[in-house]
Structure 1
Amino acid sequence: MIIMASPSVWRAMWMAIQLISVVGLLSVKLVGASQESGSVIPAESRPCVDCHAFEFMQRALQDLKKTAYNLDTRTETLLLRAEKRGLCDCFPAMH
C-alpha cells in the first residue's frame, strides 16, 4: 500500500530543496571569490573595453570588405561567362 503525502508536505519539501540550492550556490560563489585568480595586471597596462570593441569591429569590417570583394569578383566572372556563352551560341560552330 502506497501512502500519499499531503500537499503541504510536498510544499515544505520543495521549499527545503530550494533553500538548500540557494545556500549551495551562494557558498560556491563565496569560495570562488576568495581564491586568488593569479597575477594582477595593473589597470594602466590593460586595454579598455572600448579598445577591444574597436579592434573587434575593425576586424569585422575588414572581413566584410573582403567578402564583398569576393562576391563582386565572382559576380563579374559569372556575368562574363554568361555573355561569352550568349555570344558563342549565336555563331554556329565551323568544322
Structure 2
Amino acid sequence: MASSSGFVVQAAVVLLAVQLVCVGAAEAEQETGTVIPAESRPCVDCHAFEFMQRALQDLKKTAFNLDARTELLVLRAERRALCDCMPTNSLL
C-alpha cells in the first residue's frame, strides 16, 4: 500500500511540473511581442478620428466618381435619344 501512495505522490509532482512548464511556455509566448508604452500610443479617440477622416475621403472620392459616371451616362442617353429622333443624314 505504501508503494501505491508513493506512486500517486510522484505522479502528482510530475503532473504539477508539466503544468508549470506549459504555463511558463504560454506566458513566454505571449510576452514575445513588442509593447508600446502608453505615453507614445495615440488614444482611442485619435484612432477613431483618423479612421473617420479616411472614410470621409473615400466617400468623397466615391461620390465624385459616381457623379462623373452619372453625367457620362446622361450624356450618352441624351445622344441616343437625339440620334433616334433625327434622320442620320441631317446629323452630317
TM-score bin, normalised by smaller chain: 0.5 to 0.7
Tell me the percent identity: 79
Unaligned runs of 5+ in 2: 1-22
Question: In the TM superposition, what whole-angstrom CA distance separates every residue of 1:36-62 from its partner, at most 9, and x where no partner exists?
Answer: 353432222111111111111111111
Pairwise CA distance, 1:87? 1.1
| Other-structure match for 1:10 | none
Pairwise CA distance, 1:68? 0.7
Of the two, which has the highest radius of gyration? 2
Q: Which structure has the highest helix share of the two?
A: 2
The reply on whether 1:42 has 2:34 as its aligned counterpart is no
4+ runs of 1 displaced by more than 4 Å? none
TM-score relative to the length of structure 2 = 0.60
Letter in 2 for 1:86: A
- Pairwise CA RMSD of aligned residues? 2.7
Letter in 2 for 1:60: A
Q: How does 1:1-95 map to 2 (within 5 A)?
A: 32=27, 35-94=30-89
Paired positions, count: 69
SS of the counterpart of 2:58?
helix
